[in-house]
Chains A and B, each alone.
Chain A
């Protein structure tokens, strides 16, 4: 049973460019959340997708957008990259109807903006 998979694992982009990160949830999960983890900090919630819609959003600008596909996989898009967007981006999946459960995380995508 494959867990949460993310691609790519590493990425280097230039300021002002756009980037797309991808996530496939754990089998049986229907909800995908994205987190940004800056160096030395805990993960910060970006947004959550369920039934192909953004359901909740954290304190991130509109440059951060996403999408969920019918097979529950998801993309995170970041436009007009800034140096401060350099971070580890984590995808987590869970099963929406089950409240008392944990989220499973992927290994992350390390984004470096130069």
Chain B
């Protein structure tokens, strides 16, 4: 039972354009969501998070949008840079557990083309 789904295994975007990565979840107990980026041979690195009391959170080039009714969130990266090429994971948790027990999606490999 995949509670967090990233339906696009890969995404290719031109440098300077917007990258949009999507994530869907099924468990209505989830109310804390995080995005992680992973380079080969490294552990996941935290990017940005959002709790269900908000529908948008921004940090520099990264913005996460949450649509609770659709159980959908997205990560926008603008403008996209070559260093953004990595695998991106969406993760979710009940807020009561914070970051203690995360359920991850399968990941989306983002490639930024020069």
Binding site for B on A (CB under 8 A): 4, 6, 31, 33, 35, 40-45, 48, 50, 55-56, 58, 90, 92, 94, 96, 98-108
Contact = CB atoms under 8 A, between A and B. Distances in A.
Q: From A41, A100, A103, A106, name the one whose CB has the most chain B CB atoms within 10 angstroms.
A: A103
A42 B106 contact: yes
B34 A43 contact: no
A33 B43 CA distance: 13
A45 B103 contact: yes
B44 A90 contact: yes
B43 A48 contact: no
Contacts, number: 76
Contacts of B95: 99-100
Given A42-B106, A100-B32, A105-B45, A56 B89 contact: no
Q: From A43, A98, A100, name the one whose CB has the most chain B CB atoms within 10 angstroms.
A: A43
A43 B99 CA distance: 14
B20 interface: no
B98 interface: yes
Contact of B42 (A31, A92, A98, A107): A107
